Amino acid sequence: MAIKKLGKQTIKFLNPPSIISTATTVGPKEGEGPLKDYFDTIIYDDLYGMGSWEKSEAKIQIETVKQSLKKINLKEDDIEYIFGGDLLNQIIATGFAARDIGAPFFGLYGACSVMSEALSLGAMAVDGGFADKVVCIASSHFSTAERQFRFPLELGNQRPVTSQWTVTGAGVSILSSQGNGPYISHVTTGKIIDKGIIDPNNMGAAMAPAACDTILAHFRESGLKVNDYDYIATGDLGVIGSEILIDMCKKEGLDISKRHTDCGVLIFDNKKQDTHSGGSGCGCSAVVFNGYLHYLLENKEINRILLIATGALHSTTSAQQGESIPCIAHAVTISNNLGGEL
C-alpha cells in the first residue's frame, strides 16, 4: 500500500530527508549577474582549463561535488548514490563526472527539470531507507548546449527576443536521513504536457503549461495553499514563460502572482547582460536553488519554497522531424520545519 501518496502525483515523506550541504559553480556571465555573491565558485574561463566545453562541464560537476563534500567533512566514499544529469546527448557530462567520483549512479534526463527530478528521487531513496547520504546534481553549459541544440557559436546568429541564455554552472545538494534541515517534505511528479509549440527559441512558452499542470496538481493533492509558501520558484521559464504561467494559473482559479519567482529571471540582469528573456538550462535552477534560495532558507529569511524545475524534452532529431516540444515539470517542497508542518 502506497501510504505516502496524497494523490496520483504527490508524495508526503514520513521521514523527510535533510539537505545537509549544497555547492555551486558558475561561469563568467553568471558571475557578473545579480546573484554573484551567492555562488561558491565563479570560473572565468568557459573551458575551465580543459580541451573542450563538454569536458569543462564534467569538471564543473566534479569540483562542485567535491566542494559540497568538503563543507561537511565527507569523502567521496561516503556517497551512496548520485542522482543527476545534464542537457547533452547520453548525459555525457554527468556520466564522466560520475565515473571520476566513483559512486553508484542514476543518470537522469529531464532536460532543465533535472534538479527537481534528482531531489525527488534522491529524497525517495533516503525516506525509503535505501540510503543515508545521496548527491543530487544538475549542470548545463552555454557553449555545449548552443552547439547541440541551436547553432555553431562561430556563426554569431541573431537571437530572438523570446530566447533564453543557457546557464553555465552546476548545483549540488547532499541529502541525508539525519540533519537539521532544510527538509524535503513533499514531491509532486509532473506529467508530459505538449501544447504543440515547435520553436526551440521560445522555451518559456513551451514549458509554462507543464509548470501550471504540476502546480495545480500539487495544491490540489497536498492540501497546502499558495500563502503557505514564501516562494513558488519555477526553474527557467524566463520573463515570457513566467507571465504565461501566472495567466494560466489564474484561469484555473489559482493566483500565484504574489509568491511566484523564476530562477531564469533571477540569475541575470536581462537588459544589462543582453540575455533577452532570462536564463535556462539544467544549471539554472540548480545554481539558483543551491546558492541563493538555499541561503535564504538556511538563514531563516524564508521558511518554505516550492521549487518547480521545468524541462523541454525535445532533441535535435525530433526538431528536425518537425515534432512539437513535449515538456515536464517536477515540484519539490523544501521547508525549515521537519515534515513541512505549517
pLDDT tens-digit readout, 114-151:
999 999 999 999 999 999 999 999 999 988 877 666 66
Q: Give the pLDDT mean for 220-226.
A: 96
Mean pLDDT of 288-298: 97
What is the torsional sign of CA 322, 151, 27, 259? Answer: negative
User: Long-range contacts: 68-75, Cβ < 8 Å, 24+?
Assistant: 68/21, 68/22, 68/23, 68/135, 68/172, 68/173, 68/174, 69/21, 69/174, 71/21, 71/23, 72/20, 72/21, 72/174, 74/21, 74/133, 74/174
Domains of the chain by range and CATH?
A: 10-176 (3.40.47.40), 183-340 (3.40.47.40)
Q: What percent of the chain stands above pLDDT 90? A: 77
Hey, what's the cell of 199? 520553436
DSSP conformational letter for 301? S
CB atoms within 10 A of CB 302: 18
Question: Who has greater pLDDT, 18 or 162?
Answer: 18
pLDDT reading at 226 higher than 80: yes
What is the secondary structure of 1-19 as a DSSP string? --TTBSSSSEEE-SSPPEE
Cell digits of residue 223: 492540501
Q: Which three cell numbers stand for residue 284?
A: 539554472
What is d(CA 65, CA 76) in angstroms, rounded to the nearest whole number?
Answer: 9
Please, which pLDDT band fits residue 155 given cuts at 50, 70 and 90? very low
